[in-house]
Structure 1
Amino acid sequence: MGAAVDALYRALLSDDRLNGYFAGIDLDRLKRHMGALLSQVLGGPANYTGRALRAAHARLAVSQAHFDLVGAYLVGVLAGLDVDDEVLAAVRKVLAGVSADIVG
């Protein structure tokens, strides 16, 4: 999971449309949270202990376009790591399910 999270944040931080969301954020902590969250939603250990998604993203005013872009990066990173189509479909389903909690 670490390789996927690292690749995802490299992509997000290199995109000028998205990198402002991460200004002043402890990236190591965020990466740990993202790794735990991805593991949990993909059927791995349920060890995510961060804030609820709505609370964690409330102050960010994330647009639907930016949410969709992050989702596309995530799916692209996972596909690039040869994650199978069933897992990619599960990720897309989770993204669709959490959109309302993240988009401000």
Structure 2
Amino acid sequence: MDGSFFARVGGQPAVTVAVDALYRAILGDERLAAYFEGLDLPSLKEHMVALLSQVLGGPAEYTGRDLRGAHFGLGIIPEHYDLVGAYLIGVLAGLGADNEVLTAVRGILAQSAADVVE
């Protein structure tokens, strides 16, 4: 049995549901929606599913830009980064992710902040 966080959250189907829920929350938040105006959302979601899957120990299929390159110049402030992180944690918790998974994701978010926030 695969004990990865990816498997524990429910694998690809659960990660896809999580990403859809995450983007519904983000796009429904007026503080965040402007960052995504004019972007190819289906492609962005596809990249996010691949990235989140890989981060959780699933298949290493992410082929997008690195975080710094993808977010450079967007003017993302710490409060907005934290808000997206809180939405992600909330979505994962809502899907039944346990505390160990949530703690690991919080750690990854903390490590990644410097590559996203300006």
TM range (shorter): over 0.9
Total equivalences in the alignment: 104
Which whole-Å CA distance do the structure 2 matches of 1:90 and 1:34 have between them? Answer: 17
Matched, 1:39 2:53: yes
Which whole-Å CA distance do the structure 2 matches of 1:101 and 1:81 have between them? Answer: 27
What are the superposed Cα offsets for residues 46-87 of structure 1, whole Å, 9 maximum, x if unpaired?
Answer: 111000100100021100000000000000000011111111
Residue type at the aligned position of 2:30: D
Matched, 1:4 2:32: no
TM-score, normalising length from structure 1?
A: 0.98
Question: Superposition RMSD on alpha carbons, in Å?
Answer: 0.5
- Structure possessing the higher radius of gyration over alpha carbons: 2
1:18 Cα offset (Å): 0.2
Query: Where does the alignment leave 5 or more consecutive residues of structure 2 unmatched?
Result: 1-14
Identical amino acids, percent of aligned pairs? 64
Query: Where does the alignment leave 5 or more consecutive residues of structure 1 unmatched?
Result: none
Give the 4+ runs in structure 1 shifted more than 4 A.
Answer: none
Residue type at the aligned position of 2:97: V
TM-score, normalising length from structure 2?
A: 0.87
